[in-house]
Amino acid sequence: MLCLVGGPVFPQARPPKDRPLTLFTLGGTSVSTEEFLYLFRKNHPRKEDHTEAKVNEYLDLLVAFKAKVTEAKERGYDTTRAFQREFANYREELRRPYLKGNDVLDRLTRQAYERMNLEVRASHLLIGVKNDAPPADTLAAFERIMKFRERILAGEDFATLARTYSEDPSARINAGDLGYFTVLQMVYPFEEAAYTLKTGEISKPVRTRLGYHLIKVVDRRLARGEVEVSHIILRTGTPDDKKVKAKIFEIHTQLQGGRAWDELCREYSDDQSTKNSGGRLRPFGVGALAGVPEFEAVAFSLHEPGEVSDPFQSAYGWHIVRLERRIPVPSFETAQESLRRRVSRDERFQLEEAQFNAAKLKSFGYQEQPGIRAQLLGLADSSILRATWRFRGSKELLEAPFFSLRARPYLVSEAVSFVRLEQQPQTLAPSSYMEQLLDRFARTKMEELEEEEITKTKPAYGYLLNEYREGILLFTIMEKEVWNKATEDSLALHAYYEHNKDKYQAGERVRATLLATEDSVLHTNVRTVLQRGDSLRPDQVKKFRSVQGPRNFAPGESKAVDRVPRTIGLHAIRLDETYYLVQISTLVPPGIRGFAEIRSQVISDYQDQLEKEWVKQLRTKYPAKFNSKGKKYVIQELTRP
């Protein structure tokens, strides 16, 4: 199969004066000499492979490849939702090195890591207002919180006002004090303000999806990473349950007396999910257990693995905690991948990307026709939430221009086609979801235009993008025309085997079972069992690293089988630190291999035949027409010293 992905990129050969020069055309598609040179050099990096014979061989492969891709396009595989989404994912990654300033995710990931190294303690006062609240309600909430800010700046106590007026229910207990937290634990606008404010400073109103906040930073400290602990918990029905308190102190006394932690945990702990595993909890960081601040405080107060806390009480009961390990903040290289994934799903990325895309659209001269968007939003009904929306507007609207980029117009009909293809079941309001899809359509067209501009100055990008596009199409059509046919049509597969039996001759073989392990004790014990003529239990078989057979082994298929005597019985051998047991049951004479024995080889051979027959049909359907001047040029370019 032709591989069109991977390998180094070489400088372009100097083009002839009459460029662009076509190498061949096939099914309405032209392949230029530049594209061929790019692909050949990428797949043949060694200069000794640059011979006329190799060029002709690769040219033949490329023609077959282009014929398959052309057939895939003819069937519309490049218009399916599955193709569009898969290609979009690849394209996003391929575009990144060529784009200027599109480093939003990289920048936010680095920012998140820097904040991961710092813990902030802050208090807040919240006046709630929904995102979709009427403007009058939003204004009223803003004016109200501004009055509280004036009172605080005038000298009133922040904690007292938060306890009395904040609409965060927890403020009645904590006076607005949220304790210490780190990155990705608060909604992004709140985090942004907390990490930007100076210690003791009062923020201006901060708008989040919860409402308006006043934020006061109380303290900052270096991050303490994570801890992993085990615990024993006795739940209480009432805070002053004296029996439970007496029991937890009795358990603590037994621990000090030397009784095993795991034993006491199994016997007494009320945490059913961990009591049988020593009470071990997942590692957690500061702020992760905000609802149980006592537990977090005690866990982080322990310093040495194995250290056990005194009994302490929380809202859930009485606890004893044992430190298993402290986990420092990882390096950026270690944390980058997981942090990048979390950031990409976080509100911060959506907000920053929206701002970036708005600025980018503006730089591309984005101009909307007045009133068109409002008409399309008006056509959004509940069907779009079920992904069944259809355009029911006028023909005049459908043919009208929606917007322009670089003075190039894009019609409403194009946007409608995009919406119909991309719509998925949603819970948003119909007009809100339509707005998202229209914005995505505009962004998609901008990216396509951007790709055109990049390709003009960076031809390698265009070739690389096309490789991935055509690679996806090749996989799709090969799966339907070759791979699935060979595995799903059992009658045809057996018929192929019967017709080609002579291809599958084999010499003398042995029918054997092969067991492999690095455990010498297991090897010796099982060998004794088999020598007695007893059968192995399933649990014994599962302990082996590898079990093959019983099946026929031909010479060269297993180094262990090849090294033991070709006699019926049990043979033991050690090779490369691995212990093998070879149980030979039969000596198989030379002859044709059975279908079951070589099914995978038959499938592979049948696939090759199907592909050859199919390519022959495609070459007739899509004949390649060569430009002799173009062919001569690429041979000269590739074979010259």
- Taking only the tens place, the pLDDT of each residue in 287-328 is 888 778 899 999 999 999 999 999 999 988 999 999 999 999
Distances from the Cα of 535 to the Cαs of 79, 189, 517, 530, 581, in angstroms? 58, 67, 18, 7, 14
- What CATH code is carried by the domain that includes residue 235? 3.10.50.40
Task: Quote the longest CA-to-CA distance of the chain.
Answer: 101
| d(C-alpha 189, C-alpha 206), whole Å | 7
Q: What pLDDT score was predicted for residue 456?
A: 85
- Which tens digit of pLDDT belongs to each residue from 595-604? 988 899 999 9
Amino acid at 375: Q
pLDDT value for 226: 93
pLDDT of residue 160: 96
Give 607-629 pLDDT, tens digit per residue: 999 999 999 999 999 999 999 99
Is residue 399 in a domain?
no
The pLDDT tens digits of the residues spanning 169-183 come to 999 989 999 999 999
In this structure, is residue 375 part of a structural domain? no
Q: What is the Cα–Cα distance from 541 to 52, expressed in whole angstroms?
A: 56
Query: What CA–CA distance (Å, rounded) separates 93 from 96?
Result: 6
pLDDT tens digits, one per residue of 493-523: 999 999 999 999 999 999 999 999 999 999 9
Q: Tell me, what's the pLDDT at 2?
A: 39
Domain identity same for 603 and 568: no
On the 0-12 / 13-18 / 19+ scale of CB atoms within 10 A, 193 is buried
Lowest mean pLDDT segment, chosen from 75-84, 212-221, 369-378: 75-84
User: Count of domains in the chain?
Assistant: 4
Instruction: Indicate which CATH number applies to the domain containing 516.
Output: 3.10.50
pLDDT of residue 91: 83
Query: What is the rounded CA–CA span in Å between residue 248 and residue 227?
Result: 23
Could you tell me how many residues make up the chain? 641
| Measured distance CA(7)–CA(368) in Å, rounded | 43
pLDDT (0 to 100) of residue 102: 58
572: CB partners within 8 A, 6+ apart: 523, 527, 579, 580, 581, 582
- Asked whether the beta carbons of 183 and 112 are under 8 A apart, the reply is yes
Average pLDDT over residues 539-543: 89
Round to the nearest angstrom and report the end-to-end CA distance of the chain: 29
Kindly state whether residue 382 falls inside one of the protein's structural domains: no
Residues 186 and 278 placed together within one structural domain of the fold: no
Does residue 381 belong to any structural domain of this protein? Answer: no
Strand partners, 570: 583
Q: How confident is the model at residue 19 (pLDDT cuts 50, 70, 90)?
A: low
Average pLDDT, the chain: 91
For residue 418, being part of any structural domain is answered with no
CA 416 and chain centroid, separation: 30
Percentage with pLDDT > 90 across the chain:
77
8 A C-beta contact, residue 314 and residue 292 = yes
Host domain of residue 310? 226-327
Residue with the two structure tokens 């304790």? 179
Residue 539: inside a domain: yes
Tokens matching residue 178: 């949220």
State the Cα–Cα distance between residues 461 and 95, nearest whole angstrom: 8
Considering the domain architecture, whether residues 216 and 154 belong to the same structural domain is answered as yes
Helix (H) or strand (E) holding 319: strand 317-327
- For residue 410, being part of any structural domain is answered with no
Considering 222, 253, 288, which residue would you say is the last residue of a domain? Answer: 222
Asked if the structure places residue 420 within a domain, the reply is no
pLDDT value, residue 6: 38
321 with 347, same domain: the answer is no
My answer on whether 322 and 255 are in the same domain is yes
Rounded Cα distance between 102 and 104, Å, is: 6
Domain boundary (327, 348, 382) is at 327
Asked if residue 167 and residue 308 are part of one domain, the reply reads no
Same domain, 128 and 243: no
Tens digits of residue pLDDT in 406-457? 999 999 999 999 999 899 999 989 999 999 999 999 999 998 898 888 888 8
Considering the domain architecture, whether residues 122 and 110 belong to the same structural domain is answered as no
Token pair in block for residue 579:
């212990």
Note whether 320 and 342 are same-domain residues: no
Predicted confidence at residue 457, as pLDDT, reads: 85
Whether 138 and 213 map to the same domain: the answer is yes
Model pLDDT for residues 269-290, shown as the tens digit of each residue = 999 999 999 999 999 998 888 7
User: What is the C-alpha separation between 119 and 167, in angstroms, rounded?
Assistant: 25
- Which of 222, 243, 273 is the endpoint of a domain? 222
In this structure, the number of other CB atoms found within 10 A of the CB of residue 625 comes to 9
**Beta strand pairing status for 401-405 and 408-411?**
antiparallel
Q: Are residues 279 and 157 in the same domain?
A: no
Q: Is the pLDDT of residue 1 over 50?
A: no
Does residue 461 carry a pLDDT above 90? no
Looking at the whole model, is its pTM more than 0.75? no
Q: Are residues 531 and 442 in the same domain?
A: no
